[in-house]
A and B are shown apart, each in its own frame.
Chain A
Amino acid sequence: MTRALSNPLARWGLAIIAAVLLMALLAPWLAPYDPDAIDVKAILLSPSSAHWMGTDGLGRDVFSRMLFGARISLLVGFVAVGIATVIGVVLGAISGFYSGWVDVVIMRLVDVMLSIPTFFLILAVIAFLTPSIWNIMIVIGLTSWMGVTRLVRAEFLSLREREFVLSAQTLGAKNGRLIFRHLLPNSLTPIIVSSVLGIASAVLLESGLSFLGLGVQPPQASWGNILTDGKEYIQFAWWLSLFPGMAILLTVLGYNLLGEGLRDALDPRTNSKGS
Chain B
Amino acid sequence: MMRYLAKRLFWMVPLLVGISLISFLIMHLAPGDITTTEAGFNPKASEESRQKLRKLYHLDEPLIVQYGLWLKRMAILDFGESFASHQRPVLWEKKDEKGEVTKGLIQEALPVTLLINVVSLILTLIISIPLGILAAKYRNLWQDRSITVLIFVGFSIPGFWLSLLLMYWLGVVYNVFPISGMHSINYQYLTAPHKIYDTTHHLFLPIIIPSLTGLAGFTLFVKNGMLDVLHQDYITTARAKGLPENIVLGRHALRNALLPLITIIGLSIPGLIGGSVISETIFSIPGMGKLFYDAVLMRDFPVIMGILTIGAALTLIGNLLADIAYAWADPRVRRGVGQ
A residues apposed to B, CB below 8 Å? 108-109, 111-121, 123-129, 200, 204, 207-208, 211-212, 214, 227, 230-231, 234-235, 238, 241-242, 244-245, 248-250, 252-253, 256-257, 260, 272-273, 275
Contacts and interface: CB of A to CB of B under 8 A. Distances in A.
Interface stretch (B87-95, B159-167, B249-257): B159-167
A119 B275 contact: yes
Contact of B161 (A124, A245, A256): A245
B299 interface: yes
Contacts of A207: 158, 160
B165 A241 contact: yes
Counting contact residues on chain B (CB < 8 A from A), the size range is 35 or more
Contact of B282 (A124, A231, A252, A275): A231
A234 B173 CA distance: 10
Given A117-B270, A123-B292, A249-B161, A212 B15 contact: no
A82 B129 CA distance: 35
Give the dominant DSSP class at A's interface. helix
Which among A208, A214, A242, A257 has the greatest number of chain B C-beta atoms within 10 A?
A208
Contacts of B68: none
B315 A116 contact: yes
B71 interface: no
A207 B159 CA distance: 10
B22 A113 contact: yes
B168 interface: yes
Given A234-B172, A244-B161, 8 more contacts: A116-B312, A117-B273, A119-B278, A121-B26, A126-B296, A128-B37, A238-B168, A252-B157
Contacts of B307: 120
Contacts of B160: 207-208, 211, 227
B319 A117 contact: no
Contacts of A273: 155, 217, 220, 224
A20 to B, nearest CB: 13
B308 A120 contact: yes
A111 B27 CA distance: 20
Contact of A108 (B14, B155, B164, B305): B14
